[in-house]
Amino acid sequence: MGDAEEILNIFQNLRIPEGRDWNKLKGDAWARLVGHYIQKHLSQTLKVGGPNIYIDGFPTEFDLLIVRQSADPKQFTAAYLPQKVVAAIEVKEHGVFGGRQDLPRVLGKIKADFDAVVTQFSHIACVYLTMKEVSHPKRTTSINYLEETKNELAPYQVFCLQDSRSGAIITGEWERFVQLLEGLPQRME
């Protein structure tokens, strides 16, 4: 069993109740699980911070940050100095919701946050990872949410582990995500 299947199985076995009231707990659990698995693939010079974490001087909360191993958040905060941050990762359990008219607004906010980070701190990579998303809709008139997300967030990297309609693992996505992360130490030089 590969990491993607293992991650998805662990999350499913957490058995967090369904419903809007549980979404924050689900999001928190998903970010912690992803962070745990990311750490396995990072060089010893980097570590995962989060969830619910900040870049000092930047108002947006991120799900996960990849920071230098020696980095500590500022006292009494979850904010890391920008020069210690290598990547900001937006982690979603199930992509974004809404019809075609809502996608540009919702994804536009994520992209605007990524753009603002990169404008201020060009050494920080911004990445989007979702557990599952519609990547193969049943009808040609239905929305391919994964494709829309990739288009709206370009040029930022978007990764998805599972098609939410079929339940099929999207082959190679976790490996591509890990490969990107393994290249992060070079961004710090």
Q: Which sequence spans correspond to the domains of the chain?
A: 3-187
Please answer whether residues 79 and 52 qualify as being in contact, where contact means their C-beta atoms are separated by less than 8 angstroms.
no
Angle at 129 between CA 172 and CA 137, to 5 degrees: 70
CATH number for the region 3-187 comes to: 3.40.91
Cα–Cα dist 53/108, whole Å: 21
Classified as helix, coil or strand, 87 is strand
pLDDT for residue 189: 46
pLDDT of residue 38: 93
Question: Cβ contacts of residue 124 below 8 Å, gap of 6+?
Answer: 55, 82, 85, 86, 87, 88, 117, 118
Annotate 167-188 with DSSP letters as a single string: --B-TTHHHHHHHHHHTHHHHT
Q: Give the model's pLDDT for residue 104.
A: 86
Q: Give the global pTM.
A: 0.90
Block means of pLDDT (10 residues each) for the chain, 189 residues, are 87 84 86 93 92 94 95 96 96 78 87 96 95 82 85 95 89 93 68
- Measured CA to CA in angstroms, residue 76 lies from 6, 72, 79, 80, 187 at distances of 34, 11, 9, 11, 28
CB contact at 8 A, 58 and 116: yes
- CA proximity to 70, closest of 44, 97, 88: 44
Alpha-carbon torsion, ordered 150, 151, 155, 158, to 10 deg: 0
Q: How confident is the model at residue 145, as a pLDDT?
A: 86
